[in-house]
Structure 1
Amino acid sequence: MAVIDAKPTTTLAPRSGGGVMQSVRDSLVIAKRNLIRMTRIPEMIIFGLIQPIMFVVLFTYVFGGSMKVGGSTDPATYKEFLMAGIFAQTVTFATAGAGAGIADDMNKGLIDRFRSLPMSRGAVLTGRTLADLVQTMLTVIVLAVVALIVGWRVHEGIPKMLGAFGLLLLLGYAFSWIGALIGLSVRTPEAATSGGLIWLFPVTFISNAFADTGNMTPWLAHIAEWNPFSATVQACRELFGNPGVSQSNAWPMQHAVWASLIWSVLILVVFRTLAVRKYRSATA
């Protein structure tokens, strides 16, 4: 009787580590997958552009003549004051989309399929947030063109302008990890969208984005001046050379560029750690 020599079979198991380079490669693969998906659903990009453009038009032409900046009600002054706030609001509102996308992947079982592959666990979230960052970058470029059309101008040169946009994208990327954590914590994309927006409105409106903090009551002005969102808006106004540079003695307003960097890096480190930990426990 013939004896069949049976060899043990091996299965691929997901890696929890795999080294930095492997994690980078896995993240880029996931980012590419999400970017391809975005190009196949162009309405995602189109709808993402409509909202910030509407804010520019509404605030510029509806509220511009009644807003006071540094004692002036000149609409042209408010246009330049406004745009740093609109840019910052645009990059942070992408948080809701990031959370909804991750919640959708979880709901459809796509994350379970990724879990079965020999890839870095954190790469799934990193790739998703990088793809969202690319989409945000495209949105900001289009928004900048619209801003130039309505009268916004940069007065401090191209290097400082690029630095301001770099701070904006860093803030948006940091906030996208808050969205990732929300997306992993809820059951449906709809809940992720609602959860991603409900805290963004007070963060963006209790700030110096749309109104001069000098016109606020003292206690509200103090909150607005220490808001991480306000630090980035203030830094962008300084780097763009736009009006509205605060005379406040609050440290984030006096050192806005450093405050923006510190806040963004701190948010990124804390919420990336929490999101990856949540992802690992959800897929364990």
Structure 2
Amino acid sequence: MRTGIIDRFRTMPLRADAVLTGHVVASLLRNIVATAVVIGVGVLVGFRPTATFGDWMLTAALIALYILTITYLFAAIGLAAGSPEGANGYGFVLLFLPYLSSAFVPVVSMPEWLQPVVEHQPITPIVESIRALLMGTSVDSEPILAVLWCVLILVIAAVWGAWLFRRKAARR
């Protein structure tokens, strides 16, 4: 929004959402490649998942949905912030959500007052779904909750981001 390219895009017959979507898709692809590298390194150093091909495909789809969701959310936050530094600050808070999930330790090992927060936030069902799919344990309703959380956040972020983009582009 701070360069002349946005002015150029406004003179072209493009939907305002296309610029934001292009940025998000490019970031999605970069993050999927980075995630594949991390998984590959994990396998090289000893991670031995028991997942079937179908489980791997479901895991990849869930990870891609999660990355898409987070990318759209961070894009919307970036548009809402007044500066790149502000966007970093707002986004930094969201980086702590995995620490308040079952990603590192089981929920039952956490203080009782924290367990409801951990059980009812978006990262826990995503982590539990990926863990269950890769390790061959039962998945229960976690994948459904994970997808519902992702879709809900994705819709909100996409609508909010598109609204902010049109609003900021119109001001210039």
Q: TM-score, normalised by structure 1?
A: 0.57
Tell me, yes or no, if structure 1 residue 119 matches structure 2 residue 14: yes
Quote the Cα distance in structure 1 between the aligned partners of 2:50 and 2:119.
24
Please give the alpha-carbon distance, in whole angstroms, between the structure 2 residues aligned to 1:119 and 1:108.
17
C-alpha distance in structure 1 between counterparts of 2:126 and 2:4, whole Å: 37
What is the CA distance between 1:109 and its match in structure 2? 3.5
The answer to which structure, 1 or 2, has the higher relative contact order (CA under 8 A, 6+ apart) is 2
Give matches, 1:143-158, under 5 Å.
143-158=38-53
Helix, strand or coil for the counterpart of 2:113? helix
| Aligned-residue offset at 1:190 | 2.6
Residue 18 of structure 1: aligned partner = none
In structure 1, the gaps of 5 or more residues are 1-105, 246-252
| SS across alignment from 2:47 | coil
Question: How far is the alpha carbon of 1:127 from its aligned partner?
Answer: 0.8
Deviation at 1:189, TM superposition (A): 2.1
Aligned 1:1-284 pairs, distance under 5 A: 106-201=1-96, 203-241=97-135, 254-284=140-170
Fraction of identical pairs, as percent: 30
Moved over 4 A (4+): none
* 8 A contact 2:100–2:118 mirrored in 1: yes
TM-fit CA distance, 1:242 = 6.1
How far apart in 2 are the matches of 1:177 and 1:241?
A: 29
| 133-142 vs 153-162, which moves further | 153-162
Cα deviation, residue 254, structure 1: 4.2
In structure 1, how many angstroms separate the alpha carbons of the residues matched to 2:93 and 2:147?
A: 25
Shift of 1:256: 0.5
Shift of 1:122: 0.6
The residue that corresponds to 1:64 in the other structure is: none
Secondary structure at the counterpart of residue 104 of structure 2: coil
In structure 2, list runs of 5 or more residues that go unmatched: none
Q: Indicate if the aligned counterparts of 2:59 and 2:133 stay in contact, CA closer than 8 A.
A: yes
What is the RMSD of the two structures over their aligned residues, measured on CA atoms? 1.7
Aligned pairs, how many? 170
Equivalents in 2 of 1:263, 1:194: separation in Å?
23
TM-score, length of structure 2 as denominator length? 0.92
SS at match of 1:219: coil
Alignment partner of 2:2: what SS? helix
Paired AA for residue 175 in structure 1: I
Structure 1 contact 181–274 (Cα < 8 Å) conserved: yes
Q: Which has the larger radius of gyration?
A: 1
